[in-house]
Structure formats: C-alpha cells, structure tokens
Chain A
Amino acid sequence: MSRPELVAPPEIYYGDTEAKKYTKNTRNQQIQADMTYRALELLSLPPDEPAFLLDIGCGSGLSGEILDEEGYMWAGVDVAPSMLEVALEREVEGDLFLQDIGQGFGFRPGSFDGAISISVLQWLLNAETSHATSSPPHRLTRFFTTLHSALKNPSRAVFQFYPSSDDQITLISTIAQRAGFTGGLVIDYPNSNKAKKVFLCLMVGGGGHVPKGLDGDGDAAEDSTTARFERRRERERARSRGGKRKSIKDRDWILKKKELYRKRGKESVPNDSKFTGRRRKAIF
C-alpha cells in the first residue's frame, strides 16, 4: 500500500495536480463515498434531525458532497489550499477553513453535533520539523483536546484512517482518551486484505457502546448502509422540491440586494461592474 503521508507534507503532496487527480479518479470517489456513508452510520445521529457537522481534513469535498445530499449542514477544514480550491470549484455548501488540525481548533464549546474524518488521521503521525510543537504526540493532544471541546455533549466523532502499526493505534487511542473521549476501534471486514477498513469511533459524554464492525468481504453488506441512507436522501429531496438549491449568482438578484445594502448605509458594498454575478476563479 502506498503511503502518501511518508512522501511529503500534506499541503505539498496535495498540490494542484494531485488534488485534481485525486478528486477526478472515479474509483477513489467510490471508496471515499462508501467510507463516508459508513462513518455517518457510525455517528448514529438522531434520525430526521438537522445537524451541524465538522469534516476534518475535508479535502476537495468528496465527503462534503454526500453531507450536502444527506441534508446536513457542515464546516470543513483542510491544510492543503489546492484541495480546498477544488472543493470551491465543485461548489460544496459547507464553510471551508484553511487549517492545520495539529495546531488545534478555536471553535467554541459545543459547536458541532458530530464530526467525521475520512483518510486523514495517519497524516498526524509524522513529525515535519524538529520543533516541539510538531511532534506527533503534541499535535494529537492539541487536536483531540480542542476537538473534544468543540463537540456537543453527547456526540461522536468518527475517523476512518490507515494506521501502519499497533503502536500508532495505541498512541492515538491513549491521547484521545486523555482528551476526554471514550470509544474505540471499529474494524470492518477484518479478514479481508482488500476490504478491511479501520474506524476510530470516539464519543463525548460517555454512554453508548462502540458499534460492531462488519463481517465478510465487503461485497454484500454494503447494500444495507447505502439503502438506509438512500431513504433519507429521498426524504431530503422531497423536502427541498427540485433537489439542489438555486445558486443565486443571478446578476439581477445580486444588484437588487446590493442596492438594498447601500440603502441601509453599508459602506463596503462592492461597485457594480460587468463582473458582478460572474463566477469567480479560485486563487490563493
């Protein structure tokens, strides 16, 4: 198995070219989507209630698109500008932040109803400089402590990740526990080299037991997860009639609103120009 996290720091590895390649690859899209659905299942949010979620290491928004479809509101953080740029191009609906999760979060207590993180945690296990704040234990501690406080009580955070040793799993679990989380590992298809997936299922506020992993080789069992979410998606579609929201880059609409804002005495309303209401290119 290739280990991109050993090749270069994430914001370098996921540069423009790799970010596009990663996002366009249909096989990758499918894998990330399956893991996102499974993570959502493990989050076990109360059904039919709106929720505000954090997508940790959201990348180009492959999971975010699913969160949108499922009707969740979300915010995403990632350290790679090129990945975020692709997310912008794909017009995901979540609020995006350029952030190194190893530096911790500033979100106020109880901000999120849950968190997911797909294929990210292994990136925190490599030291990038010799500075004390860049040692993996330091970064993991900062990450888990600030995440714990940003989550509502009770709630969960589910991480799919690729550990490369039992020591790594122990390190991560110990630090998460010290930060106040309970929970543990969920391993799907443990006996299949190909389908095996590791999820760390963390809970705030105790209660609830760690769900069981799935058995078999991953071929048949998938249907049940997808089926369940299929139903939720149907409901959401019905709710929003006509599917996706209107994007109102509509020029007339913008001009009308700008006029309104000027009337209200706002000073920084941009001047109207031939560019008003045009799609902007993402630049960092």
Chain B
Amino acid sequence: MVRLMTHNLLACHAKGCTTNNFPLALKDVQIELRESDFNPDFLKGFLPKLDWPALVLAARQLGDETLPLQQPEMLDDEFLKNLHHVLLEIHIEEGSMTCPNCAHVYPISNGIPNMLLAEHEIG
C-alpha cells in the first residue's frame, strides 16, 4: 500500500546517509490499481511537498506517462486527474527501494515497506 505520494517523501534514514539519499530507487515492483476519491484541494495542497522530477521518474518507471516533465503552472482538471491517479491510485505491492547513496535496500512486501535498520546502520 505504499503509493507514489509517500514514496516521494521518503529518503534514506540510515546512519550518516544525508546527501544524495533520495529518491529511493524502485526495483522489481508489482503494482495494483485501486480507485480513490478525487480531491483537487488535497492535490493542490500537496503539490508544494512534491519533488517533481522524482515523481515523474517514478511514475514513468511504473508505466504511467501522463505527467509532464515540467510541473505545469496551470492546474487544469486533466492534469489534476492524472496527478491524482499517479499519487493515490497506484499501489506498490511488492518490490524494493534502494538508496542511491548507501545502497541500503528497503524491501516492500504485501504493500508494506520494511524500514527497519540493522544495529550498525542506526544513526
């Protein structure tokens, strides 16, 4: 049940891993699509939190090409609907996320990422 909404907020939290630790690279993912209520106000409020290039990259990797490379200034309905789908309706069920800096792998099983660190990785 991890969605791109939260994937986009997640950096590596292993010890000493503070730069180049985002976005976590998605590997071998299986996705499930689940419809959810369209809420344009939520999306507009969420936009400033997003790292746009990372979102587009992740979406394309999952096969969704609907988002433009540049974040548009005009938030029309079509754009918001696409954003809604990308952020909230694509659920990553299996796979893993790898830190681009320290290469720590966070496995995703049954929709739940395992964020636990080994003792020597704890900051």
**Quick one: which of B1, B22, B51, B65 contacts A95, CB cutoff 8 A?**
B1
Please, which residues of chain B bring their CB within 8 A of the CB of A52?
42, 45-46, 49
Find out whether the CB atom of B115 lies under 8 angstroms from the CB atom of A50.
Answer: no
| Interface CB pairs A-B, < 8 A, 16 | A49-B41, A49-B45, A52-B49, A97-B112, A97-B115, A100-B117, A104-B123, A105-B13, A108-B22, A108-B51, A131-B119, A245-B36, A249-B34, A254-B32, A268-B28, A282-B110
CB atoms of A97 and B28 under 8 A apart: no
B65 and A84 within 8 A (CB): no
Per-residue B-contact encoding for A44-83, CB less than 8 Å = 1, 0 else: 0000011110000000000000000000010101010000
Segment of A26-34, A180-188, A195-203, A259-267 engaged in the interface with chain B: A259-267
Q: Number of residue pairs across A and B with beta carbons under 8 Å?
A: 120
A77 surroundings in chain B (CB, below 8 A): 115
Q: Report A-chain residues with C-beta under 8 Å of the C-beta of B57.
A: none
Q: CA A240 – CA B29 in complex, angstroms?
A: 31
**B116 at the A interface (CB under 8 A):** yes
Check A88 against B1 for contact (C-beta < 8 Å): yes
B-contact bits for A104-123, CB 8 A (1 contact / 0 none): 11111011000000000000
Q: Name the A residues within 8 Å of B112 (CB-CB).
A: 84, 88, 96-98, 284
Contact A264 B11 (CB under 8 A): no
Query: How near does chain A come to B84, taking the closest CB pair, in angstroms?
Result: 12
Q: How far is B65's CA from A283's CA once the two chains are assembled, in angstroms?
A: 32
Collect the chain B residues with CB atoms within 8 Å of residue A103's CB. Answer: 13, 115-117, 122-123
A65 to chain B minimum Cβ distance, whole angstroms, is: 15
- Residue A178 lies at the interface, judged by CB distance under 8 Å to chain B: no
Establish whether residues A88 and B111, one from each chain, have CB atoms under 8 Å apart when the complex forms.
Answer: yes
B3 touches A95 (CB 8 A): yes
- Can you list the 7 inter-chain pairs with the closest CB atoms, starting with the nearest? A266-B63, A106-B13, A50-B42, A99-B115, A248-B35, A111-B9, A133-B122
